[in-house]
Amino acid sequence: MAPFYELGRFGDGTSLVVAVLLGIAFGWFLERGGMGNARKLAGQFYFTDLSVLKLMFSAILTAMKFETGEVAWRDRSVGKGSVVFADDRLYLFSENGVAGLAEANPAGYKEHGRFEIRTGSLPTWSHPVVANGKLYLRDQDTIYAYSVAAK
């Protein structure tokens, strides 16, 4: 929200509404993934079931079955970072500047390639963006664009 707020696109009221809607959406997805179960959530506080915390704070790419919340597969992939789904593929970007392309497949992780961009001394926490046949990656004050359009 910060970039929109700083640019004067959203006021305080609109920012609050957007933040609440994002929180509701996040909760809805947790609930649909089986992570909103009261026992699972209470287990976080009593240290009896840490599955929600392990899922949220692990550096492992995790595919889950939408209906049950059961883990379908896990892979360390490119490491801790961001992922976006576009064009039936997973575009991955690690905090160390490693980009990867993988199948969105419930059977398992299958990587189709990876490369590394030159990064500065700080971690890269931006998300990859796919738009108009291009993959955009950003590190601090540098942006990279790669053609990913089907040929």
> Read out DSSP for 53-107?
HHHHH-SSEEEE-TTT--EEEEE-TT-SEEEEEETTEEEEEETTSEEEEEE--TT
pTM greater than 0.75? no
> 3 lies in a domain?
no
DSSP letter at 128?
P
Counting every residue written for the chain, the total comes to 151
**For the chain (length 151 residues), average pLDDT per consecutive 10?**
55 77 75 67 73 66 79 86 90 93 92 92 89 92 91 75
> 61 lies in a domain?
no
> 69 lies in a domain?
no
- Give the CATH number for residue 146: 2.40.10.480
Q: Give the CA-trace dihedral at 58, 97, 33, 56, to 10 degrees.
A: 30
> 5 lies in a domain?
no
DSSP letter at 47?
T
Distance between CA atoms of 68 and 73, rounded to whole angstroms? 14
Number of domains in the chain: 1
**pLDDT for the residue 72:** 87
**pLDDT for the residue 144:** 94
Distance between CA atoms of 2 and 11, rounded to whole angstroms? 11
> 136 lies in a domain?
yes
**pLDDT for the residue 58:** 63
> 104 lies in a domain?
yes
Note down the domain range covering 112: 77-151
First and final C-alpha spacing in the chain: 36
**Whose structure tokens read 């160390």?**
96
> 111 lies in a domain?
yes
Instruction: Please name the helix (run of DSSP H) or strand (run of DSSP E) that holds residue 23, with its range, or none.
Output: helix 12-32
> 54 lies in a domain?
no
Among 58, 69, 63, CA closest to 36: 69
SS3 4: helix
